[in-house]
Amino acid sequence: MKLSQTVTYALKATLQLAQLRDDSPIPCSQLASQGAMPERFLLQILRSLVTQGILSSTRGVDGGYVLTRDADEISVLDVIEAIEGPLTHDVFSGEGLAKESRQKITEVLKSVAQTTRSQLESAKLSQLVRPIPAALQTDVAR
């Protein structure tokens, strides 16, 4: 499975926010800088994550982005599907194959997609980060 650069950046940003475990909004510029991501591109990604309910945003000097739910309630699948849409098995047309072969391949791909969805759904953001000690969080959030 290959993830697009857009999904990769979305995961990096949401993992950064999950690691902070803080309700203080983090500016896009900080996420971009710390994650080595292009800020303008990241801003578009963050807007998509807000639209899909993964993040919320606050405007202004002290504005930025926060997770809408606890990191143990947001899965890798949630982030991927917020960017790419539903993960499905409908990637193979089977054009030119016999009906039986097409059906068998479709069954295999459907099974793979279901397994993949299940594994990505069980992988929560909180499981993928090591929390920053509370004493250090204020330094990181600046």
What's 71's domain CATH number?
1.10.10.10
> In sequence order, what E strands does 1-94 have?
55-58, 64-67
* 43 belongs to a structural domain: yes
Which has the higher per-residue pLDDT, 87 or 12? 12
**Domain count of the fold of the chain:** 1
Which has the higher per-residue pLDDT, 99 or 47? 47
> 9 pLDDT band (50/70/90 cuts)?
very high
Buried b / exposed e along 102-119 (16+ C-beta atoms within 10 A): eeeeeeebeeebeeebee
Name the average pLDDT for the chain: 88
Identify the residue whose tokens are 């697009």.
4
* 92 belongs to a structural domain: no
The whole domain housing 76 covers 5-87+125-133
* 96 belongs to a structural domain: no
Which has the higher per-residue pLDDT, 130 or 91? 130
* 105 belongs to a structural domain: no
* 129 belongs to a structural domain: yes
* 111 belongs to a structural domain: no
> 97 pLDDT band (50/70/90 cuts)?
confident
* 42 belongs to a structural domain: yes
* 69 belongs to a structural domain: yes
